[in-house]
Structure 1
Amino acid sequence: MPTTVLTGISELWTLDPALDAAPGEPGRHGAAEGQVLREAALVIEDGRVAWTGPASAAPAADEYHDLGGRAVLPGWVDSHTHLVFAGDRSAEFEARMAGQDYAAGGIAVTTAATRAAPDAELRALVRARIAEARAGGTTTLETKTGYGLTVAEETRAAALAAGLVNAGELDEVTFLGAHVVPAEAEHAEAYVDLVVGEMLTAVAEHARWIDVFCERGAFTREQSARVLRAGRDAGLGLRVHGNQLGPEHEGVALAVEHGAASVDHVNHLGPADLEALAATAARPVRAAGEGLLDVHAGPTVATVLPACDLSTRAPLAPARDLLDAGAELAIASNANPGTSNTSSMAFCVATAVLQMRLSLAEAVRAATRGGALALRRSDVGHLAVGARADLHVLDAPAAIHLAYRPGMPLTHQVWRAGVRAV
């Protein structure tokens, strides 16, 4: 196969897993020694990273691209999005900015619009959102169902997303039938019966994950546990929306107890939550195929969603406390129409540095390696030899410009699986 060498790289953030500090050691959550190369080059072959090292030692290749002294990161790994939707909720956002509180009920507005959208329209909307994310450096994308909330509509959403995975446009699909209880449901328990029964049976073949919104206005801890147990029995990996609006439904404890790969939002954490999440960091991962890890092994990753926190005027998730406690951390966009209508991972990384007290290296790792761990992927989130050649080339000489120049258009090029996408 033809080989391509990229030179003129001022900083190359390989984030090579082989160079990681051990759990509990300094540097574990940032960039360990040797994981950022200066004046570097990178070789791509057959869609994967074939070599990294000093530019002066770069091997011969079939094609050469000089990046002109720019920094190169792994492509962002966005492990939490809701891309399969139609409609607009800007009026709800405007009201919230005027002082109204956020509650889960606004999802019903999106559900109505999504149900009404024809397949072709919905697919086009998702593809447009993928293109927006790609243009900002995101090369690995998870998306959830959750705006259909009937057997037919959840299956339609999952099948649409799975088709985009098969086409190489998306990466992961999560079944979120347990998003909220739809208005037409007789009562919450009856809807949970549907989710864990007929709905799960119909959707499971299209998804790798199951998720549940364990929160007031959505599902109790007991109802959420039913969803997770059923998903695991169906062979799906587990995710939890937890501790967003308060600690009372114990989403973190639920996720840890059931071995979920991630618990997302985590705005309201007590010492017991931090301790529980940190204790899972020692859980070993297991390989499960090329580039994939076993969905039922490994730590429960705390996924923070800074754009959502700002959009809902919620307390920022305690990312600093999570890292200091020893928990595994991911940063994701939570792209959705109601509470985080952005897929800009660069914005989330800048927010994590400027307002959540992370170092740049901690934030970059959480938005790449952290997201990959939350998705149980070993092929993305880094640029070690053998990784999928997903590169985010910055129009800047150093990655610190992401926070130093917040909001500026710093994406110069994006490569996905060795092919330039932007």
Structure 2
Amino acid sequence: MTAFLLTNIGELTTNVAVGGDPCGTLHDAAILVEDGRVEWTGPADRAPDGGAAADVVDAGGRAVIPGFVDSHTHLVFGGDRAEEFAARMAGEQYAAGGIRTTVAATRAATDDELRTRLGAFVAEARAQGTTTLEIKTGYGLDVETETRLARLAAQVTEEVTFLGAHVVPLEFADRADDYVDLVSGGMLAAVGPHARWIDAFCEAGAFSLAQSRRVLEAGRAAGLGIRVHGNQLGYGEGVALAVALGAAAVDHCTYLSDDDVAALAGSGTVATLLPGVEFSTRQPYPDARRLLDAGVTVALASDCNPGSSFTSSMPLMIALAVREMRMTPAEALWAATAGGARALRRDDVGAIAPGARADLVLLDAPTPVHLAYRPGVPLVRRVWKDGVEI
């Protein structure tokens, strides 16, 4: 790989904390990239003279941020649920059971159809500044299709999550425990080699505390890391379960008791908030301010899926977090980058620091505040993944 110097950066967000600034903001800055990694950051007037840096890229006084780390998506699926969305906007209530509609369409889709669609979604996310993606299964709910989804996801990301415990499929209606046996046994054995994580939807209408624990403990025994869907549709046991099992993250966190907040604050489990869901379902937004003030580590992710948040836009998540969840622009940007990296237990992404992957986003704006200040405007001008422009 050729090296390059990105210079004349008006405002650089490094996410290397300096004093009281967790974003580690530098002004009039530069970045030296070599072999796909960040080699140096600092004031532009102190930048290395080039050496191996064959190319110099002028940022023109614009802002540069780390690539977004979207730590919760469901990008491999068939079909469309636009009619369900329209009905919800007309007053119908969101319920987890709509997932089964997508399951039927996904089972019917060919690998080529799913692969082509997945590639389009990944390109869409990249164009909006996302350089690291987690992708879940969960729209197959049988051994064959869940394995297909994990295999396809693994072709585009190393962050694959097995979510066989998404909902109980129709063929196991009234036999949820039998389905949990399958997820924890034969399905896990088939899907596990393609995945890094296991997840469970611990929620009324999906899986009980005991069922979720069985699935997650089986995944851990098979060598997978733990993630949890929890506390989305009402108060429940998802957060407590995630903390008890040492999960990397518990996602949604819309309905939290004081005990839930205290448990998260005293743990290494990240609270991943998904404001696109509330935007698309008219559910209450999570109270990010309450979590941050308690000392909880917060991430933002898109939850891109066909039913409850059909958007891959991390800039939109930042704008919603600032407007609706009482986060500052700096807190939201950190949560969408470094926070997502924490949720994936990664230290090579989410920051611009020597040794980190050179995942960089040049904004067509003087500061990252514009991501929330100018919602809906395509501010991502250039994107580099591992030092290669995409």
| TM-score normalized with structure 1 length | 0.90
Question: Which runs of 5 or more residues in structure 2 are unaligned?
Answer: none
Distance in structure 1 (CA, Å) of the matches to 2:177 and 2:330? 44
1:110 paired to 2:102:
yes
Match of 1:201 in 2: 189
1:230 paired to 2:188:
no
Offset from partner CA, 1:330-365 (integer Å, 9 cap, x none): 000000000000010000001111121111111111
The CA deviation at 1:306 is 0.5
Distance in structure 2 (CA, Å) of the matches to 1:194 and 1:185? 10
CA root-mean-square deviation: 1.0
Match of 2:238 in 1: 251
**Residue range with higher mean Cα deviation, 322-331 or 1-10:** 1-10
The CA deviation at 1:163 is 2.3
For residues 83-162 of structure 1, the aligned pairs below 5 Å read 83-162=75-154
SS, match of residue 217 in structure 2: helix
Distance in structure 2 (CA, Å) of the matches to 1:235 and 1:157? 19
Distance in structure 2 (CA, Å) of the matches to 1:307 and 1:347? 8
Match of 2:317 in 1: 348
One-letter amino acid of the counterpart of residue 184, structure 1: E
SS, match of residue 59 in structure 2: strand
Q: 2:275 aligns with which of 306, 314, 326?
A: 306
Match of 1:58 in 2: 47
SS, match of residue 362 in structure 2: strand
**Residue range with higher mean Cα deviation, 52-61 or 214-223:** 52-61
Match of 1:220 in 2: 208
CA contact (8 A) 1:331 1:366 kept: yes
The CA deviation at 1:392 is 1.0
CA contact (8 A) 1:140 1:171 kept: no
Match of 1:360 in 2: 329
Distance in structure 2 (CA, Å) of the matches to 1:403 and 1:63? 32
SS, match of residue 171 in structure 2: coil
Match of 2:353 in 1: 384
**Residue range with higher mean Cα deviation, 400-409 or 79-88:** 400-409
Match of 1:394 in 2: 363
Distance in structure 1 (CA, Å) of the matches to 2:179 and 2:30? 54
SS, match of residue 184 in structure 1: helix
1:240 paired to 2:228:
yes
CA contact (8 A) 2:158 2:196 kept: no
Distance in structure 2 (CA, Å) of the matches to 1:2 and 1:162? 27
Q: 1:278 aligns with which of 265, 281, 284?
A: 265
Distance in structure 1 (CA, Å) of the matches to 2:282 and 2:288? 16
SS, match of residue 126 in structure 2: helix
SS, match of residue 239 in structure 1: strand
One-letter amino acid of the counterpart of residue 349, structure 1: I
Question: Which runs of 5 or more residues in structure 1 are unaligned?
Answer: 165-169, 281-298
For residues 163-202 of structure 1, the aligned pairs below 5 Å read 163-164=155-156, 170-185=157-172, 187-202=175-190
The CA deviation at 1:162 is 1.4
One-letter amino acid of the counterpart of residue 126, structure 1: L
Distance in structure 1 (CA, Å) of the matches to 2:189 and 2:210? 21
1:412 paired to 2:381:
yes
The CA deviation at 1:2 is 3.2
CA contact (8 A) 1:84 1:126 kept: yes
The CA deviation at 1:20 is 6.2
Distance in structure 2 (CA, Å) of the matches to 1:161 and 1:97? 31
Match of 2:33 in 1: 44
CA contact (8 A) 1:12 1:38 kept: yes
